[in-house]
Amino acid sequence: NTHLKLDGLAKSYGNFIAVEEFSLDICEGEFIAIMGPSGCGKTTSLRMLAGLETADRGEITLAGKRIDQLPVWERETPMVWQSLALFPFMTVRENVEFGLQMRGVARAERRRRADDWLERLGISTYADRNVARLSGGQRQRVALARSLVLEPKVLLLDEPLSALDAHMAIKMQGELKKLQRELGITFVYVTHSHSEAFSLADRVVIMNLGKVEQIGSPQDIFLRP
């Protein structure tokens, strides 16, 4: 059963075609990794899903409902950035609580949910620290916590583990897999890392020059000659 359907998405910047054609049916709770050379249209595709970029053509449906016309905050498809758009003058906890505040969640409940995610991602000790004073890896975890606290149906991630050391990256892979299992979150995950794609993805999408070139299980994509 298709949860998230991308049908013929296309995006150009002036005369330049960034995404020529992207179609994909994604099941509920499926983990999709998108790979391909730099400039092939991965981030643009993700941004169209997030609502940060308007597609020139095509449709996006989530649980049967068109979402491509909806504003970002009504899509339930938050995005975790590679270039992390955290609020630099807020504390870690304030950053994580922000989305809940926007959704009208009461203070005590906000605090409880935020602290739960800070704990799970091992950043509780920094809760009251300004994010401007964190390392890249710490910030990346704050960005993850900020999206996860919203318990989204779909999570879009653009190289979310790239700033983490190897140990933390492996730990986070485990956390993401757990989220997929326990909460049934659907993941669309852009990565350059074969090992991440191999251990996380149910299906891997290889893009090239703005088009989907191959789709298959990690075994099909990486191991077949």
Instruction: Name the site residues for ligand ADP (rule: CB under 6 A).
Output: 13, 16, 18, 36, 38-44, 82, 158
State the alpha helices, DSSP H only, in the chain: 42-50, 92-102, 107-120, 136-148, 166-183, 194-200, 218-223
Maximum C-alpha span of the chain: 55
Measured in degrees and rounded to the nearest 5, phi and psi for residue 150 equal: -80, -5
Sequence-separated (6 or more) residues with CB below 8 Å from residue 167 = none
Complex with ligand ADP: residue 147 or 149, whichever CB lies closer = 147
Q: What is the bridge-based pairing of β-strands 31-35 and 186-190?
A: parallel
Complex with ligand ADP: residue 13 or 87, whichever CB lies closer = 13
Q: Residue 76 pairs with which residues in a beta bridge?
A: none
H or E segment and range at residue 35: strand 31-35
Of 180, 158, 156, 160, the C-alpha closest to 168 is 160
Minimum Å distance from CB 10 to ligand ADP? 12
Minimum Å distance from CB 1 to ligand ADP? 29
Complex with ligand ADP: residue 49 or 118, whichever CB lies closer = 49
Minimum Å distance from CB 193 to ligand ADP? 13
Cα–Cα–Cα angle for 51, 53, 57, rounded to 5 degrees? 100
Minimum Å distance from CB 113 to ligand ADP? 29
Complex with ligand ADP: residue 39 or 136, whichever CB lies closer = 39
Complex with ligand ADP: residue 100 or 191, whichever CB lies closer = 191
Minimum Å distance from CB 148 to ligand ADP? 20
